[in-house]
Every structure is written in C-alpha cells, then in structure tokens.
C-alpha cells in the first residue's frame, strides 16, 4: 500500500506498474449500470480493477433496473460506499482510493436528494447567490453520501432551442451562463467535492438543433465559438478552478473534441491553466471510429484520445475494454509511457486535492441530518419561486383572487405529472408538488379544484404531427371533451402545458418550437368557452406560442421547477409571491427565425427596408422575436434613473463603475433584475450589437429605491478576438445600456476607453 499523502508526490508515483497506471485511466460504471455487485465480492480479485480504478461512476445512486432500494437509505448508502472504498485501499496492491463520481444537474442524482429547478429555470432567476447555495447543497449532500466528484454544472450555451438539452443549460447568453456556472462550481467545491463541468467543448449548436446520433460539427464560426461557446468554460477554469471537465461527443471544424490536442491540451491546459482531469462523455472515444471516421478501430481511437489529452474514459461499457486498449497502445508504441504518466498524475493530483488519501471514508450516521433538510427544501422552494417568469398580464388578470372563485379547473399534461419535474441527471423520487397538488393545498376549502388532463404531451402521430397537423383521434378527442365539460363549470381555467422526457432532454431535439401534440388545441378550446384562461408553460425550451400570446391574457413560464413547483406556482398565481424572473433565452415566433439568440453581431437582426431597395426592400418575414432575452413582467412597476459611469475616460487596466437608481413605483413588493449591456461603438472586427456585462436581482418594497452598482473590468469584460484571432482590448467609445430586458433599455451612457 502507498504511504500517506505526506510523502512527496513523485515518490508515490514510482511504485506504479503498467497495469496499475492503465487502471487509473478508466471508470467502473456503477451498480446496475455495468457493475453487477453493490458490494465487493471474491470475483473482484479476478477483475481488471484488482489493479485499481480512476473512479466509480453513479454507484448506488438508484439509476438502473432492479435496484436494491435498501441501499438508498442514507445511512446504508454511506456504509456501502465505505465498504467499496475499503476494498480498493486494502485489497489492491497500491491501495489507491477511488473517486466516486455522480451527476448533479438539478440536485444530486440520488432519488431522495433535494430536487431543484432545471438549469434553465435557475438561469431565469438571474441570481448568483441562489445558484451558489444550490451548488453548496448539492455538494454537501453528495459528500455526505460518499461522492467526491459531481458532474455539474452544464456550461453549454444554447444557440438553437430546438436542441434537446436546452432545459439543462442556464441560457443562451455566455456572460449569464459563465457567471452562474462559476457560482455552481464554487458552491460544489466548497463542500470538498470536485466539480466536473460539461460538455467541453462547442457542444451546444449542432446542425439544425439535432442531437442523438447527430452530434457532429456545430454551426458556429471560430471567433464566435471562443467568444460565445467557450467563455463560460474559460471562467469556470480560470476563475473558479473547476477540478474536472467532460470531453464531448462532437467535432468542431472536422476535428473530434475527444481526439483534439487543440481542445484538450493547447486550450484547456495551456490557455485556461486546467489542473484537473478530463473524463470522456459516454461513448465519445468509440465515436472516433464509429461516427467521426478518424480512427480505424477502438485501439486507434483510444490512442488518439489519450495522446490528445483525455485522462479517463467513462462509458456504459466494461472497464476492461478500455484498459486492454490502453495496454495494446503501450505495447505497440501507439502511446508513449510518458503520456500515460502525465495522464495518471492528473488523476492522482485531484484525488490528493480531495483528501482521499488522508480521509477516504464518510460518516454514514451523519447523512440523515445533511441530505434534504428543511433548510435545503426551503432553498428549493425559493429557487422555484424565483425561476417563474410573467410573460403576459393583460388587464391585471393576475394575480387571481381566491375569494372570488368557487371552482378552478386545472388542465394540461403537466398539471399532475411528476415525471416532468424530475431528471435522470438529478433526484428522481423526492417528494414532489405538482401544479394540481400545489393548487389544492393552497386553496384548501376556499374553492373546488377540478382536474382533467385534456391532452397528452404528444399525440398519436408525434413527431409527424410537428409538420402535419391532423384532428385528434377518438381517444384524444375524449380526453379533450372531458376538459371542455369541466371548463363549463369553472370560474377560471389554469392550463399547464409544456414538456416531459418524451419531448425535451438528451437526444430529444425538435423540428418545431410549437407546443407538441394537441396542447395548443386544448388551450384554444379552453378560450372558446369564454371563461378566463391562464396558461402556464412548464417546458424545457423556448416555445413559439403565438396564438396563445394573442388570445390568452395571463401567461407564466415556470419551466421544470423541481420538487416545489406546485407550491411556488400557486403562490404566484394568487399573489403571495410576485414573479421576478427573466427569460434566459429568446422566444422566436418561428423556427424560421433561427438562429435568434443574443449576443449577435451588429445588423444581424435588422429589419427590411421600407423604401425601394434592391438589397432589402420588402415585407416578407417576421423580424422581431415573440419575447426577448431578459424579458419578464411583474405585479408592480419599476422606474429607472440617475445612471452614472465613473471614470468617463478609464484606462484599459482600470475598473469602471456603472450605477443606476431603481425605484418600485407600484403597490406591491417585488424583484427587478437590472441588466447592464455594453456596445463597442467602433471595432476592428464587427462587434456584437450589445453584450450582457452585469445583472443584479434586487428586492424592493413599494416606494423603495436602491442604487445598483456594476463593475466592469476591461481586461475581463471588454476583451475581443481580433482579426488575427488574438485576445485583446481595443480603446475607443463604448455605449452603456441599463434596462429591464435586452430590448427594454431604460438608461444610457457612454465611456471612452484609453490606453
């Protein structure tokens, strides 16, 4: 067994043999995924991991068929993890501890961990402190149950909302994604676990939004790739010092990321200074020869990935497959031993940093007092509240008055389906409050709450129905008629529509942004009754709800809000909580407008000329989006004034302070997300129309005002990639815009940056 970490690191490494080195570069996929044993058996001494392993992924986290539920008990869970760790410490020759990895996108991937809103919902909250606390709780719960490395956050920037994984991302704007991602990393790592950010790199703009087996070259230029897609990763590595990252399936400009020394070495370790270890997304190595056609077989793919910079292959395949390929590569000279040594040192460095050599075990008895406490549930409720966005409120339709209602109809496929509120990469069985149960609990005996599903998430012809609408079949019409009959008896109708795992998520890209199935038809029929209708969008992407926007007076976007979804929704609908969320993605009117995401280069969203002009004359297209990035209403009103920029002529190395006064001039307390945008007036490269460079969510009582202050660091916030693809800051004039959304600008100012 190796001595403790008090011995010098190089001295420890000299004990390794080739078999043990290769085992430190591979993952054992956990119980009921690949590993068939919850606890060590005698057969383990014959398995490839008798020589150790880099990590064990998703062990005992409840994902898999026929799972032993007794192992999910918090105390038993810690005991299981300790017993497995003890085997590696005592039964392998070197006694190297394993790194227990697990997912954690909306809370820890354990059935009974705290269930937070989707990352898209958290993006809508525009609240750094909230995301930091979500990260802390996720890391704390993970560590209490024995996990030492959490695959979170997702730092992909959504540029095409048809993409299935839109719901798992903070939004479309790189500054927003980067700022929230940094907080999630800091929160996780403050609890003694590593944050492995994903999906590195250039993953989120596949052709036509397609994913699944179509994970290939993204449609984005080199400069935009760096300034938009890579910016959140740069921040996570350079500012938050994330200890892990996951290499993605896709290629960029014909070069597969998992086989790219540019992405995995030059950029990641060189420019970004990454000191952790890289795991592959499942199957990313195999795709080098089975999809990307750059390696003749799996042995060649393995050598390509390791030489490029991959540390650990993680896959839904036996560990032995990859370890054997590594050993073949070493024997045949396809991989130099020095390269393997470098990759293993990265893995060991993280294990030392996590304290696994000194404190490899957890205290199982402590877990029940740590996992899903009342305090963490309170944060989940706060997050659900803050994520809700008020999209429309004509004639002050909202909030509803419970004293004036006798009967409320709740309808729609998301109204009482818990599956839409959970995710394979987060908790799956926490106590969930659906919209229906939340409204029943809120109204109690004040009003009768009726329920009819009205429509499924999809119809019988989906996805064909996305391009060719037909009337409902007999079963679908019966479901619709049941909702219509109950609507006639109701004082108000709350239609909860959107997505579940059949329409959004990994490998669930869409052809259109319209509501799937007969969901819009359900809303149309509800409006036809003449009763007041409120539409609640509980989805995972932007939705082109043009008819609903035209004819429904009250619309909320509530995303997938986690375990407290129904409670938060009821509080917002009836005015106990004033919604203050903002859209983290643009809502196009049609997929024909895509790409339509901020930031965009000057002139990219220009309209058509109103005079005779051979280069732009005509009125042939819808120009503006349905809802802009950063948009969101409130039950109160806010007034902006007194913008100041100091100094007016800052030097490049000097910080700039921008301040603005915001006042609540309405009758209710509420939150406003104050947004700072900056425009480079003249640049050597066509600049972005404007870029988000600050946001602050402020809570104000009626009549209360607050001065919101932002700091711009030119070297961080005003840098651009020049004509030679080099980073730099160009002197000149910059416009400052402060507003309630990317298009609702309230105050303007300017400063001149000088050398």
pLDDT above 70 coverage of the chain, percent: 96
Q: Given this model, what pLDDT does residue 18 score?
A: 87
Residue 615 has pLDDT above 80, yes or no: no
Q: Is the pLDDT of residue 405 over 70?
A: yes
- Give the confidence band of 48 by pLDDT, cuts at 50, 70, 90: very high
Q: How confident is the model at residue 429 (pLDDT cuts 50, 70, 90)?
A: confident
578 falls in which pLDDT band (50, 70, 90)?
very high
With bands split at pLDDT 50, 70 and 90, how would you rate the model's confidence at 140? very high
From CA 569, how far away is CA 227, in angstroms rounded?
36
pLDDT tops 90 at residue 322? yes
Q: Compute the average pLDDT of residues 739-746.
A: 98
The answer to whether the CB of 201 falls within 8 A of the CB of 233 is yes
Residues 419-442, mean pLDDT to the nearest whole number: 91
**Pairing label, strands 492-498, 149-151:** unpaired
Distance of CA 365 to the CA centre of its chain: 32
pLDDT, tens digit, 9 for 90 and up, residues 681-738: 999 999 999 999 999 999 999 999 999 999 999 999 999 999 999 999 999 999 999 9
Report whether pLDDT(3) > 50: no
Q: Which residues contact 670 (CB under 8 A, 6 or more apart)?
A: 578, 580, 634, 635, 636, 638, 664, 699, 700
pTM score: 0.96
At 46, list the tokens. 């014959």
Q: Give residue 13's pLDDT.
A: 62
First vs last C-alpha separation in the chain: 58
Q: Is the peptide bond before 13 cis (omega within 30 degrees of 0)?
A: no
pLDDT band at 666 (very low <50, low <70, confident <90, very high): very high
Cβ–Cβ < 8 Å for 578, 671:
yes
Per the model's pLDDT, the better-predicted residue between 42 and 428 turns out to be 42
pLDDT tens string 106-119: 999 999 999 999 99
153 exposure class (CB count in 10 Å sphere: 0-12, 13-18, 19+): buried
Q: How confident is the model at residue 442 (pLDDT cuts 50, 70, 90)?
A: very high
Instruction: State the CB neighbour count (10 A cutoff) for residue 273.
Output: 11
Q: What is the pLDDT of residue 6?
A: 42
Q: Per-residue pLDDT tens for 637-646?
A: 999 999 999 9
Q: Which of 100-104, 191-195, 251-255, 584-588 has the lowest mean pLDDT?
A: 251-255
Residue 105 and residue 157 in contact, taking contact as beta carbons nearer than 8 Å: no
Could you say which of 156, 160, 211, 281 is catalytic?
281
What pLDDT score was predicted for residue 623?
Answer: 87
Please choose, from the candidates 504, 496, 492, 372, the residue with its C-alpha nearest in 3D space to the C-alpha of residue 434: 496
What's the sign of the alpha-carbon dihedral 302, 308, 310, 315? Answer: negative
Phi, psi of 252 (to 5 degrees): -140, 125
Whether 10 shows a pLDDT value over 80: the answer reads no
Q: Give pLDDT, residue 430.
A: 76
Q: Is 281 a catalytic residue?
A: yes
Q: Report how far Cα 177 is from the mean position of its chain's Cα atoms.
A: 9
Average pLDDT, whole number, for the chain?
94
Q: Sign of torsion, CA 502 504 505 506?
A: positive
Q: What integer pLDDT is reported at residue 616 of this predicted model?
A: 56
Provide the pLDDT for residue 4.
Answer: 40
361, exposed or middle or buried, with CB in 10 Å at 0-12, 13-18, 19+? middle
Burial status of residue 605 (CB atoms within 10 A of its CB: 0-12, 13-18, 19 or more): middle
The pLDDT score that the predictor gives to residue 8 is 42
What backbone phi and psi angles, to 5 degrees, belong to 561? Answer: -90, 10
Answer yes or no: is pLDDT of 2 > 60.
no
pLDDT tens track for 487-518: 999 999 999 999 999 999 998 999 999 999 99
Task: Report the pLDDT value the prediction gives residue 398, as an integer from 0 to 100.
Answer: 98
Phi and psi at 194, nearest 5°, equal -85, 145
Distance CA 740, CA 200 (A): 32
- pLDDT for res 1: 33
Asked whether the predicted pLDDT for residue 15 surpasses 90, the reply is no
Count CB atoms within 10 A of the CB of residue 489. Answer: 12
């Amino acid at each position: 067994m190796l001595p403790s970490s008090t011995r010098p690191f190089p001295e420890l490494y000299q004990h390794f043999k080739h078999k043990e080195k290769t085992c430190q570069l591979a993952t054992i996929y956990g119980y009921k995924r690949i590993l068939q044993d919850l606890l060590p058996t005698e057969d383990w001494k014959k398995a490839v991991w008798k020589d150790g392993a880099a990590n064990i992924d998703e062990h005992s986290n409840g994902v898999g068929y026929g799972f032993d539920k007794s192992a999910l008990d918090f105390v038993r869970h810690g005991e299981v993890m300790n017993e497995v760790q003890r085997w590696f410490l005592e039964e392998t020759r070197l006694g190297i501890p394993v790194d227990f990895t697990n997912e954690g996108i909306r809370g820890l991937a354990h059935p009974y961990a705290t269930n937070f809103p989707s990352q898209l919902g958290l993006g809508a909250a525009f609240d750094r402190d909230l995301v930091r606390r979500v990260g802390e709780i996720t890391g704390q719960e993970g560590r209490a149950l024995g996990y030492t490395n959490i695959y979170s956050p997702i730092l992909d920037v959504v540029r095409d909302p048809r993409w299935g994984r839109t719901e798992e991302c903070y939004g479309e704007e790189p500054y927003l994604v980067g700022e929230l991602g940094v907080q999630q990393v800091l929160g996780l790592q403050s609890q003694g676990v590593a944050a492995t950010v994903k999906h590195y790199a250039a993953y989120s703009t596949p052709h036509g939004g397609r994913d699944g087996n179509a994970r290939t070259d993204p449609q984005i230029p080199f400069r935009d790739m760096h300034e938009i897609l890579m910016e959140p990763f740069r921040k996570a590595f350079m500012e938050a010092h994330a200890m892990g990252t996951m290499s993605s399936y896709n290629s960029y400009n014909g070069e597969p990321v998992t086989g790219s020394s540019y992405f995995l070495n030059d950029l990641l370790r060189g420019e970004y200074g990454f000191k952790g270890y890289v795991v592959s997304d499942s199957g990313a190595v195999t795709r080098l020869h089975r999809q990307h056609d750059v390696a003749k077989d799996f042995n060649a793919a393995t050598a390509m990935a390791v030489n490029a910079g991959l540390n650990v292959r993680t896959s839904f395949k036996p560990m032995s497959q990859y370890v054997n390929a590594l050993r073949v590569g070493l024997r045949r000279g396809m991989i130099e031993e020095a390269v393997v040594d470098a990759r293993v040192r990265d893995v060991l460095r993280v294990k030392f940093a996590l304290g696994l050599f000194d404190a490899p075990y957890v205290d199982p008895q402590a877990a029940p007092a740590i996992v899903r406490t009342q305090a963490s549930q309170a944060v989940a409720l706060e997050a659900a509240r803050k994520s809700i966005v008020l999209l429309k409120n004509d004639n002050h339709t909202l909030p509803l008055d419970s004293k004036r209602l006798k009967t409320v109809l709740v309808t729609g496929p998301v109204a009482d389906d818990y599956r839409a509120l959970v995710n394979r990469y987060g908790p799956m069985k926490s106590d969930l409050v659906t919209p229906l149960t939340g409204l029943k609990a809120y109204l109690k005996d004040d009003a009768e709450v009726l329920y009819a599903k009205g429509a499924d998430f999809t119809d019988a012809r989906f996805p064909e129905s996305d391009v060719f609408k037909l009337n409902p079949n007999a079963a679908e019409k019966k479901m619709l008629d049941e909702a219509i009959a109950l609507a006639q008896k109701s004082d108000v109708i709350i239609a909860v529509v959107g997505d579940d795992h059949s329409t959004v998520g990994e490998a669930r890209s869409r052809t259109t942004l319209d509501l799937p199935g007969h969901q819009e038809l359900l809303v149309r029929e509800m409006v036809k009754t003449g009763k007041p209708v409120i539409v609640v969008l509980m989805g995972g992407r932007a939705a082109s709800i043009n008819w609903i926007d035209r004819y429904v007076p009250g619309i909320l976007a509530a995303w997938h809000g986690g375990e407290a979804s129904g409670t938060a929704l009821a509080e917002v609908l009836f005015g106990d909580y004033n919604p203050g969320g903002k859209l983290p993605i643009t809502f196009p009117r049609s997929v024909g407008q895509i790409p339509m995401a901020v930031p965009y280069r000057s002139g990219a969203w220009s309209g058509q000329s109103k005079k005779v002009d051979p280069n732009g004359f005509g009125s042939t297209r819808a120009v503006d989006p349905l809802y802009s990035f950063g948009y969101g209403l409130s039950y109160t009103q806010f007034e902006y004034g007194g913008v100041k920029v100091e100094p007016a002529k800052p030097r490049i190395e000097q910080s700039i302070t921008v301040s603005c006064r915001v006042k609540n001039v309405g009758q209710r307390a509420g939150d406003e997300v104050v947004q700072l945008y900056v425009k480079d007036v003249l640049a050597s490269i066509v600049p972005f129309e404007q870029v988000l460079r600050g946001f602050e969510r402020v809570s104000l009582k009626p009549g209360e005002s607050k001065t919101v202050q932002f700091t711009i660091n030119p070297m961080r916030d005003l840098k651009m990639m020049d004509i030679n693809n080099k980073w730099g800051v160009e002197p000149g004039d910059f416009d400052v815009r402060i507003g309630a959304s990317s298009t609702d600008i309230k105050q303007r100012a300017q400063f001149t940056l000088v050398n």
